[in-house]
Structure 1
Amino acid sequence: MKTDVEELTPTRVKLTVEVPFDELKPNLDKAYKEISKQVRIKGFRPGKVPAPLIDQYVGRGAVLQEAVNDALPELYGRAVEETEIFVLGQPDVEITALDDGKELSFTAEVDVRPKFEVPDYEGLEVTVDEAEVTDEEIAETLDTLRERFGSLTIAERAAEEGDFVTIDLAAEIDGEAVEDAATTGYSYEVGSGTSIEGLDDALAGMSAGDTKTFTSTLVGGERSGEEAEITVTVQNVKVKNLPEADDEFAQLASEFDTIEELRGDLRTRLGRNKRMQQLGQARDKALEALLEKVEIPLPDQVVEDEVTRRNEQLEQQLQWSGLTREGYLEREEKTAEEFEAEVAEAARQAVKGGFLLDQLALDEELGVENEELSDYVVTQAMQMGVQPQQLAQHLTDSGQIPALVSEVLRNKALNVLVEHVKITDEAGNELDVEAIQRELNGETTETAEADSEAEAEAEDTPDTTEEAPEAPEEKPAS
């Protein structure tokens, strides 16, 4: 097989492949066998029809077409492997010649990863937020914890923001009730914005027994996206009472005996979270800083695919939250054009960043071990709230393992980048990334020092193991 590569653009190539006809013999044999099972010729059982009769009754052209279709994926894969190009997406294949008994020729146009050099990143500087925990943040976190232990009591007044109301909802379109949009006994926090648009405005000032009708757009069910008349009836209004932040609450909500001990633990936890956020910021900003130093041509189709993926992801999130796209844009105070431009730019940066990390991984000769894949799956499963085995099976069945390997490899490349970057917070303090990672992993300074000393001792200890003598050469049995 002969393959030539023509660069059409920095991100697209054309492969011209010539295949000797004898290489198609296994595919021709398979085609005859498959067609033989399908045709019905008197005197022959299915699967036993001779090739000459298939040529006579079905046609040699149909056999050739079947054989070529079967052979193309493997031939294309061999051409890609031999030319050592990194393809992106599916190729546009065209059969240019099919000379029976002599030769098959075809072309394949496909997007490829662009070629470029990773800029020097040694000493790159980035600035991240401070990790100092304020008293106000501790108070806010403590209030959130108190919210979890709050109790609801009936309020003999009109509903206000922050109150909890028990309501009935009904919907009509052109006077016809929408059954799947009705609900009773629904508990809702006024002002939370987690239900249908217009509900918060309608509930303000309503008391137990009041009914009000307003117009909104349905976000679920068979009539989703249609405008309807929504009727809300308030059953009762409840106010949340929070427990006092005292020692008794500390004992109720935690393993601590005093409120000061609980506050100290919250300070520690908030500090860990902030240092974790610092690492995340450092990774993002280091990649952004490196991206600014290099121009990378981007394949249009790859960018379009990323835009589509992001829009689909947004639609799913909007459905879960009960918002329409129009409502989301209104809340974000953006026009559709502004939002589309932002998504397109974010998609371009994401694709560019992926290419950069892929090349960095190649330059650093990084690889992925099975243990690293397992750890990544476990982490993702915990975040998604599913069993690791269940997620692993889904990734395998859906053919997403190569994408998973790529994701882990890019994370490793990003870690390499961060290790060479100078990171300071807004107060001018330089961050020790390795020390922060050890802390987040639960390692103490003493543990790290002990490990270092052990490694040093191991290196200084002479190897007294004697080399085993070579085994005698075995003679072949006579």
Structure 2
Amino acid sequence: MKSAVETLSPTRAKLTVEVPFEELKPSLDAAYKQIAQQINVPGFRRGKVPPQVIDRQVGRGAVLNEAINQVLPQKYMEALQENSLEPLAQPEIEVTKLDEDADEVALEFTAEVDVKPEIELPDYAGLEAQVDDIEITDADVEEQVQALRERFGTLKDVERPAQDGDFVVIDLVATKDGEPVEGAEVSGMSYQVGKGGMLEGLDEAIVGLSAGEEKVFTSQLVGGDLIGQDVDVQVKVTQVQEQELPEYDDDFAQLASEFDTVGELEADVRERLGRGKRLEQAAAARDAVLEALLEKVEVPLPDGIVTEELDARRQNIEQQLAFAGITMEKYLEDEEQTVEEFEADLERRVRDSVAAQLVLDQIAKKEEFGVDQQELSSHLMRRAQQSGQDPQEFVNHMFEHNHVPELVAEILRGKALAQIVESAKVTDASGNEVELKNLQPDGTIGEPAEETEGDEAPVNAPAELLTDAVEDAEPSED
């Protein structure tokens, strides 16, 4: 086999591959055997039909096509390795030559594909970055305490119009042109006035209504066939309740916590807030260091990969908004963004993300990082927990759909990022150095987990499959 590569751009290459007859012949022989098993020819047993007869019965072209389909993926992979190319997407393949005569067949094909660009890495040791100070205010503590009091609050009926913060029981029905909208009717629903998250205009309609009173307002549905269209909504209040909060004293501290006094309770709240703020600061430090790295390097980006990722993120955002019952228009209004500003911001974030992946991939390869079975198993378990799926079902899906190499790549990038961050100097706005001891090996931020027996097999993925996946996805040697 001969192969040659033409660089179309820093991120796209064109391979030209020539396959001589002797390398195509095993696939031709296999194609004849396969077709022989599929046809019935009088005078011959199934599977024993000679090639000459097959050529007459089904045509030489059918055999050649079958052989090409068998040999082409293998020769494409060999050409990638021969030319040290790392593909980022599926190739566009075209058979450009198929010469056939009595004795030989010569196959030539081209493959255009997005490839990882060569990146000139800067010195990534000792990067400097800055993050905001950790600040825990009395208002932060008060907000947490207030939420705790509300958990232990009680509701009592009141004979007055509903106010912001009250709990009401309501009936809702939406109509369009005087006709009820299917699926847009609820009754006996409990709702806190001012909480939001339902229909726009609902809170304003409820305020001022007493039990037994109703009001009609115009709003837009966030789901169903009439999503985004104006409808008339009738809301009827059947009950108004006021929340009574327990007195904030030592008795409450003993009721709601393990502490004896409100002073001890507040100290614990402040400490927990501090832990959360430190984790947030560490995550901000990680992102700031990565941003500092990207500012020092030029990364050519494959347009196809950027477009694909952009479409995926846009679709994910739209799905999340639909699940939350929020229209895109409402989201942009709340964010005070125009459509153009939203798209520009999304593209910027996607480009930064793709650039970061490419840089971290090259650093992981340069540092010769690897992934063992325990790391892969732990990552699979963590991803399953994050997605809310059953671990075994998640693992089975990853293996069945060949997603494990992607997970291995995530681990390798995390190791590269962890090394960069650990060597960086990060300070807060006051000049204090930020400790990054909570940076995990996979590049995430979290509380260090205690080691326990039995962690070696959190999922039942076969060891040989894990081994194969790790070996397939580890960086290849130069």
Same fold? TM cut 0.5: yes
Letter in 1 for 2:203: D
Matching residue of 2:192: 189
Structure 2 CA distance for aligned equivalents of residues 187 and 153 of structure 1? 14
Matching residue of 1:316: 319
**Counterpart contact for 2:87–2:116, Cα < 8 Å:** yes
- 1:369 matched to 2:372? The reply is yes
Residues 1:53 and 1:317: Cα distance change in structure 2 (over 3 Å): same
Residues 1:174 and 1:439: Cα distance change in structure 2 (over 3 Å): closer
Residues 1:382 and 1:298: Cα distance change in structure 2 (over 3 Å): same
User: How many angstroms does 1:121 deviate by?
Assistant: 2.8
Matched position secondary structure for 2:433: coil
Residues 1:122 and 1:178: Cα distance change in structure 2 (over 3 Å): same
- 1:55 matched to 2:58? The reply is no
Listed as ranges, the matches of 1:319-334 within 5 Å are 319-334=322-337
Matched position secondary structure for 2:91: strand
Q: Residue by residue, what CA displacement relative to the aligned partner does 1:10-63 show, whole Å, maximum 9, x if unpaired? A: 111111111122322333234334434544545556555443332112211122
Alignment match of 1:441 (pick from 443, 448, 451)? 448
Q: What RMSD, in angstroms, separates the aligned Cα atoms of the two structures?
A: 2.4
User: How many angstroms does 1:108 deviate by?
Assistant: 0.4
**Counterpart contact for 1:275–1:436, Cα < 8 Å:** no
Letter in 2 for 1:407: E
Structure 2 CA distance for aligned equivalents of residues 40 and 201 of structure 1? 78
Q: Residue by residue, what CA displacement relative to the aligned partner does 1:240-277 show, whole Å, maximum 9, x if unpaired? A: 22222323322332233332222222222111111111
Q: Which 5+ residue runs of structure 2 have no aligned equivalent?
A: 451-478
User: How many angstroms does 1:405 deviate by?
Assistant: 1.1
Residues 1:432 and 1:330: Cα distance change in structure 2 (over 3 Å): closer
Structure 2 CA distance for aligned equivalents of residues 398 and 217 of structure 1? 40
Letter in 1 for 2:173: A
User: How many angstroms does 1:104 deviate by?
Assistant: 0.8
Letter in 2 for 1:266: V
Structure 2 CA distance for aligned equivalents of residues 39 and 181 of structure 1? 59
Matching residue of 1:68: 68
User: How many angstroms does 1:280 deviate by?
Assistant: 0.3
Letter in 2 for 1:303: V
User: How many angstroms does 1:390 deviate by?
Assistant: 3.3
Alignment match of 1:139 (pick from 139, 142, 152)? 142
Matching residue of 1:464: none
Alignment match of 2:168 (pick from 159, 165, 170)? 165
User: How many angstroms does 1:141 deviate by?
Assistant: 1.4
Letter in 2 for 1:81: Q
- 1:389 matched to 2:389? The reply is no
- 1:286 matched to 2:293? The reply is no
- 1:99 matched to 2:99? The reply is yes
Residues 1:290 and 1:12: Cα distance change in structure 2 (over 3 Å): same
Letter in 2 for 1:400: H
User: How many angstroms does 1:310 deviate by?
Assistant: 1.0
Residues 1:39 and 1:440: Cα distance change in structure 2 (over 3 Å): closer
Structure 1 CA distance for aligned equivalents of residues 228 and 205 of structure 2? 20
User: How many angstroms does 1:132 deviate by?
Assistant: 4.2
Tell which deviates more after alignment, 119-128 or 81-90.
Answer: 119-128
Residues 1:399 and 1:215: Cα distance change in structure 2 (over 3 Å): farther
**Counterpart contact for 2:301–2:354, Cα < 8 Å:** yes
Matched position secondary structure for 1:182: strand
Letter in 1 for 2:12: R
Structure 1 CA distance for aligned equivalents of residues 9 and 30 of structure 2? 38
Structure 2 CA distance for aligned equivalents of residues 10 and 82 of structure 1? 18
**Counterpart contact for 1:124–1:422, Cα < 8 Å:** yes
Tell which deviates more after alignment, 242-251 or 403-412.
Answer: 242-251
- 1:345 matched to 2:352? The reply is no
Residues 1:255 and 1:377: Cα distance change in structure 2 (over 3 Å): farther
Structure 2 CA distance for aligned equivalents of residues 439 and 93 of structure 1? 45
Q: Residue by residue, what CA displacement relative to the aligned partner does 1:178-210 show, whole Å, maximum 9, x if unpaired? A: 222222122222222211233223223222222
Matched position secondary structure for 1:427: coil
Residues 1:223 and 1:136: Cα distance change in structure 2 (over 3 Å): closer
Matching residue of 1:88: 88
**Counterpart contact for 1:251–1:257, Cα < 8 Å:** yes
Residues 1:378 and 1:241: Cα distance change in structure 2 (over 3 Å): farther
Structure 2 CA distance for aligned equivalents of residues 244 and 36 of structure 1? 87
Structure 2 CA distance for aligned equivalents of residues 46 and 174 of structure 1? 69
Q: Which 5+ residue runs of structure 1 have no aligned equivalent?
A: 444-478
Matched position secondary structure for 1:441: coil
Matching residue of 2:255: 252
Matched position secondary structure for 1:209: coil
Residues 1:249 and 1:73: Cα distance change in structure 2 (over 3 Å): farther
Letter in 2 for 1:298: L
Letter in 1 for 2:57: Y
**Counterpart contact for 1:272–1:440, Cα < 8 Å:** no
User: How many angstroms does 1:411 deviate by?
Assistant: 1.3
Q: Residue by residue, what CA displacement relative to the aligned partner does 1:348-371 show, whole Å, maximum 9, x if unpaired? A: 111111111111212222222222
**Counterpart contact for 1:181–1:220, Cα < 8 Å:** no
Residues 1:56 and 1:134: Cα distance change in structure 2 (over 3 Å): same
Under a length normalisation based on structure 2, what TM-score does the superposition of the two structures give?
Answer: 0.86
Residues 1:297 and 1:18: Cα distance change in structure 2 (over 3 Å): same
**What is the number of residues matched between the two proteins?**
443
Alignment match of 2:208 (pick from 205, 210, 215)? 205
Matched position secondary structure for 2:360: helix
Structure 2 CA distance for aligned equivalents of residues 215 and 41 of structure 1? 74
User: How many angstroms does 1:395 deviate by?
Assistant: 2.4
Under a length normalisation based on structure 1, what TM-score does the superposition of the two structures give?
Answer: 0.86
**Counterpart contact for 2:38–2:46, Cα < 8 Å:** yes
Matching residue of 1:452: none
Q: Residue by residue, what CA displacement relative to the aligned partner does 1:304-331 show, whole Å, maximum 9, x if unpaired? A: 1111111011011101110111111111
Structure 2 CA distance for aligned equivalents of residues 317 and 249 of structure 1? 38
Structure 2 CA distance for aligned equivalents of residues 131 and 335 of structure 1? 32
Matched position secondary structure for 2:414: helix
